[in-house]
Amino acid sequence: MSDVSLVVNGRKVSGSVEDRTLLVHFLRENLGLTGTHVGCDTSQCGACVVHVDGKAVKSCTILAVQASGSEVVTIEGLANGAELHPVQAAFKEHHGLQCGFCTPGMIMSATDMIRRHPEGLDEATVRAELEGNICRCTGYHNIVKAVLAASKTMSKSKGKAKAA
């Protein structure tokens, strides 16, 4: 057993867990943050993507103890009260989801991608950057549209939008 302490969505949390506990299980089972999903056991689908110290990572492929001491942002940490994050709003507007299972990971990847491309995004870049996120429903078209739209909104309202 090890003590794990993290700042999750701005809140200090800690717990004692078995060393083999994956971060995704710590988030879902210890903290009740079930927005982060598990879609595979091969580290390929990206349903589990969260930000650790500002970078998108697969929370199913990192132990909670490895992440201890870090800041974590999950899908639950994006909206500002009832006001959706611009990426969430764009997914809603452009029908970027059907069953919604991949969506938390898609949105966490999209916010990371937008942060890493302050120069703006084009379709080819978005598609290449989404290689670590699998969707079984949408065919990706509307996801790509949503990410492009969100990236435009966020560059227009730079500073106003809550950076994720």
Binding residues for ligand FAD, rule: CB under 6 A, are: 43-44
Distance CA 59, CA 74 (A): 10
8 vs 146 by CB, closer to ligand FES: 146
Q: Which of 23, 130, 135, 144 binds ligand FES (CB under 6 A)?
A: 135
Phi, psi values for residue 14, rounded to 5°: -150, 165
163 binds, among ligand FAD, ligand FES, other proteins, none (CB under 5 to 8 A by kind): none
Q: Which of 7, 13, 29, 61 binds other proteins (CB under 8 A)?
A: 61
User: If DSSP codes are grouped into helix, strand and coil, which group holds residue 16?
Assistant: strand
How far separated are the first and last CA of the chain, in Å rounded? 32
Q: Is residue 30 within the footprint of other proteins (CB under 8 A)?
A: no
Q: Are strands 2-8 and 71-73 parallel, antiparallel or unpaired?
A: parallel
42 vs 80 by CB, closer to other proteins: 42
Helix (H) or strand (E) holding 85: none
Cβ atoms 37, 22 nearer than 8 A: no
Q: Is residue 125 within the footprint of other proteins (CB under 8 A)?
A: no
Q: Which of 10, 42, 82, 159 binds other proteins (CB under 8 A)?
A: 42
CB of 69 to other proteins, least distance (A): 9
DSSP 8-class letter at 19: T
Q: Give contact residues for ligand FES (rule: CB under 6 A).
A: 38-40, 43-48, 58, 60, 97-102, 135-138
